[in-house]
Amino acid sequence: MVTPTVPDGNYRRKTPGAILDWKRNMTASQKILASIDRSSWIRKIFEEGQERKAKYGAANVFDFSLGNPNVEPPIRFKEVLKDLVNNPVPGMHGYMPNAGYLETRTAVADYLKTFNRQDFTPGEIVMTVGASGGLNIVFKTILDPGQEVIIPAPYFVEYNNIIDTHQGVPKIVRTKPDFSLDFDALEEACSEKTKAVLINSPNNPTGKIYDEEELGELGKLLTRYSEKQGAPIYLVSDEPYRKIVYDGFTVPSIFNAYNESFVVTSFSKDLSLPGERIGYAAANPQMTYLKDISQGMVICNRVLGYVNAPALMQRAVTHLLEESVDISIYQKKRDLLCDALGSFGYDFFKPHGTFYLFPRSLEEDDVAFVNVLKEENILTVPGSGFGGPGYFRIAYCVADDVIEGSLPGFERVIKKYR
């Protein structure tokens, strides 16, 4: 019998389990194995949460780990669905143009005209499988291998994976202490390899909204670098939380700030439909190479295997573009949490929107701190997972009872550090 030799190089891990690792390396790709290892902490938080719930009872575990909205979709959503199901039209569950239904894209274009200066047509809109589907088709359309995408930190965890999937390279830049854009950092990061800047406002995990002045300055910086480069640097704005804003804040238009821009969004958060996988990507009608880009997005929707966004949901959201869940519910949760944690002495930026709070960790090692909170059955996520070490994320899209029940634990923990 021939004994298999362990291949050298990347495949070999110099551990006692080398043979076992070698066998594992023959299964999923190296990249995916590395991803599995990197994301194991997320799984671990989830699994430990489940174990704690089994041990202490679900009511005694305060799970703030996931951004899964706890508010039910608006009643109007159910009415629209019933209406669609009760009035079927032939072929309503069949394939369609990859960009989505013309009627839906026309409604989205008209809706976008209500808060952007541009004259949108359905040609700039592609209906997508959530915001994630939108990000995938945009980056698949614009990236060549090795091109860089600048991302201000902290940022949504999946960005690295999405950019890597399309052979791009994420380039993470710092933001200011109040999480506003740091133009020195952005400027330092721009190079001949830069293809895009990816922003998320309101931001997961910080709840920050970039204001009009910042976006204007970003637009000017990108115009300057695009001219220098002789080719556009794109601005991609991920906006699934656009409607989840508080205290009269609004989210300024990036389309008004910069022509070479895209918005990617979904109905996952504002209509509480994350499982229905429906969203859209919109390209700025004033973009230079609009025709290539919009055709590219349509092709990418197909070749990435999405083919088209879910048919029934496209028909539903056509009638729901102005709707949202009751945002005051989230604002009350934010206030309950911020008032209490502020009075205990936690340090945080009060979110302008989203349903996340991103306080400073009470010790440098945010992973260790999250474990201290876990001892109180409070489950949160270390900031390191979002490119924000020294912080932790609380997803407060949970029942008020969960917030209220967690407060004594938060107070006990801060007392330990005094």
Ligand X SMILES: Cc1ncc(COP(=O)(O)O)c(C=O)c1O
Residues within the interface to ligand X (CB under 6 A): 67, 130-132, 156, 200, 204, 238, 240, 266, 268, 274, 279
Q: What's the min distance (Å) between Cβ of 160 and ligand X?
A: 13
Q: What's the min distance (Å) between Cβ of 356 and ligand X?
A: 8
d(CA 120, CA 124): 7
Sheet (strand 279-283) strand order: 125-128, 279-283, 261-266, 234-238, 194-200, 148-152, 169-173
Q: What's the min distance (Å) between Cβ of 354 and ligand X?
A: 8
d(CA 307, CA 96): 9
d(CA 147, CA 288): 19
Q: What's the min distance (Å) between Cβ of 2 and ligand X?
A: 48
225 vs 246 by CB, closer to ligand X: 246
Pairing of strands 392-395, 381-382: antiparallel
For residue 131, give the 3-state DSSP assignment: helix
CB-CB contact of 31 with 160 (8 Å): no
Instruction: Spell out a b/e string for 267-279, using b for 16 or more CB atoms within 10 Å of the CB, else e.
Output: bbbbbbbbebbbb
100 vs 279 by CB, closer to ligand X: 279
197 vs 407 by CB, closer to ligand X: 197
Q: What's the min distance (Å) between Cβ of 327 and ligand X?
A: 16
- How far is residue 272 CA from its own chain's centroid? 15
d(CA 293, CA 173): 26
111 vs 280 by CB, closer to ligand X: 280
131 vs 338 by CB, closer to ligand X: 131
105 vs 285 by CB, closer to ligand X: 105
132 vs 253 by CB, closer to ligand X: 132
Token duo for residue 177: 């202490």
Q: What's the min distance (Å) between Cβ of 137 and ligand X?
A: 12
In the bound state, the residue with its beta carbon closest to ligand X is 130
- 3-state SS string over 174-234? CECCCCCECHHHHHHHCCCCEEEEEEECCCCCCCCCCCHHHHHHHHHHHHHHHHHHCCCCE
CB-CB contact of 127 with 265 (8 Å): no
- How far is residue 169 CA from its own chain's centroid? 18
156 vs 349 by CB, closer to ligand X: 156
Q: What's the min distance (Å) between Cβ of 138 and ligand X?
A: 12
Q: What's the min distance (Å) between Cβ of 204 and ligand X?
A: 4
Cα angle 398, 337, 323; round to 5: 50
Q: Map tokens 């008004």 to a residue.
A: 256
